[in-house]
């Protein structure tokens, strides 16, 4: 079973990497750009046929390693 996990910085957390990309794009002439924020993306393949059980395991991985819950949010979706 395959899942995608998107990890983003919480709304109020400063995103210096995104800011650099934003400034660069603006300097390249993309004046319509309002804002850009960068995050992480994981594609996880797991040996588990029960959807509920698989989601629980993915959630576990996020909380134990992939996500810093203090400054980041995450979203799991089946693909």
Q: Within a 10 A sphere around the Cβ of 47, how many other Cβ atoms?
A: 7
45, exposed or middle or buried, with CB in 10 Å at 0-12, 13-18, 19+?
exposed
Q: List residues binding its own copies (CB under 8 A).
A: 4, 6-8, 18, 21, 24-25, 28, 30, 32-48, 57, 60-61, 64-66
CB of 70 to its own copies, least distance (A): 19
Sign of the dihedral through C-alpha 55, 73, 4, 66: negative
């Amino acid at each position: 079973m395959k899942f995608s996990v998107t990890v983003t910085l919480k709304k109020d957390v400063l995103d210096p990497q995104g800011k650099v990309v934003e400034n660069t794009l603006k300097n390249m002439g993309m004046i319509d750009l309002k804002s850009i924020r960068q995050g992480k993306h994981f594609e996880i393949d797991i040996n588990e046929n029960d959807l509920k059980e698989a989601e629980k395991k993915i959630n576990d991985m996020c909380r134990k390693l992939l996500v810093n819950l203090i400054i980041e949010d995450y979203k799991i979706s089946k693909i």
